[in-house]
Amino acid sequence: MDIMPILTKLSLSFQKKNIDIAVVQPLIQSTISQLEYLTENDGPYMTMLNSAITENHLEIKNHRIDQVQGDTLQVHQSRIHPAGDISTTQEVS
């Protein structure tokens, strides 16, 4: 996900009807530099993913996925309902 804004900017630049040739080389070099940076550093999406992962589970917003045994995963979903919280659990092998 972190590379999408970088590649989108490049793509949109090339889609312009009147692209300035003088801008092409600096734009490509900037894109390469930004992608190289992401090979050594986490972008915002990778940072968010790393903070959501703990030893045996992944938790994002109102979803929690636990590794129960081997390849079996347990998926928990919590939703706020006017009558109170509703929680559901499902096992996936």
Beta bridge partners of 85: 80
Region 8-25 average pLDDT: 91
H or E stretch covering 90: strand 84-92
Q: Is the dihedral of CA 49, 55, 59, 65 positive or negative?
A: positive
Q: What is the pLDDT of residues 33-44, one digit of tens each?
A: 999 999 999 999
**How far is it, in rounded angstroms, from Cα 7 to Cα 35?**
9
Region 60-85 average pLDDT: 67
Q: Is residue 28's pLDDT more than 90? A: yes
| Paired tokens of 60 | 């994002």
Identify the band that residue 64 occupies on the pLDDT scale cut at 50, 70 and 90.
Answer: confident
Identify the band that residue 89 occupies on the pLDDT scale cut at 50, 70 and 90.
Answer: low
